[in-house]
Amino acid sequence: MSAVPGQDDPTRLTGLTVLATVGANGVTPHRSEATMNETSHVRYRKPGWFTQHILNRAVALLTRAGISVWGSRVLEVAGRTSGEPRRVPVNLLSLDDEQFLVSARGTGQWVRNVRAADGRLDLLLGRSRQHWVATELSDDEKPPVLRAYLKRWKAEVGVFFDGVSADSTDDELRAVGPNHPVFVLRPAS
């Protein structure tokens, strides 16, 4: 028995274990820009080299050529610092006559840029450009959208949802909701 409470607890994570886990999973904890004065962290799983340099570029190229890969679009939004257009391939989810964007990897650059642009973004498919305004959903609103998203793209993004699937309960989906920003899109006027 140790004099330090919890030291002998096999489920206790040490700082080194946390760092090793974060490094292995590509999870980058950082303070949310919206809550810089709070101690809460946001989660983001940075894409690996192959995804970032090969797969995303191939999907973006096909999408810009007018070929949608399972609902893919190229999201274009002004960079929050530079103001320059930033482009990234995304999966556009249609559900109950509404359009949604889900960030499977967490609070990435495109999410931060959309927030900074007050939700104004464009979705590109070939030469077609649609102007949208995105509104972020609360965690309580996310379960049906996350379920539909996982049903459609589980093979592609399931690894980012910590074992939660389209068959999970609303409570399980709600539990992972804070790690996955979801936006509903409305046509810009």
State whether residue 41 is helix, strand or coil: strand
Neighbouring C-beta atoms of residue 36, cutoff 10 Å: 8
Residues 132 and 122 sit within 8 Å (Cβ to Cβ):
yes
Q: pLDDT tens string for the chain (189 positions)?
A: 444 444 444 333 333 333 333 333 333 333 333 333 333 456 766 666 665 666 667 767 777 777 776 788 999 999 999 999 999 999 999 999 999 999 999 999 999 999 999 999 999 999 999 999 999 999 999 999 999 999 999 988 889 898 999 999 999 999 999 999 999 999 998
pLDDT value at position 132? 98
Q: What is the pTM of this model?
A: 0.72
Q: How far is CA 126 from CA 65, 70, 72, 92, 123, in A?
A: 5, 15, 11, 15, 10
Q: What is the pLDDT of residue 51?
A: 58
All structural domains of the chain, each given as residue ranges with its CATH number in brackets, are 49-187 (2.30.110.10)
Cα–chain-centroid distance for residue 43? Answer: 9
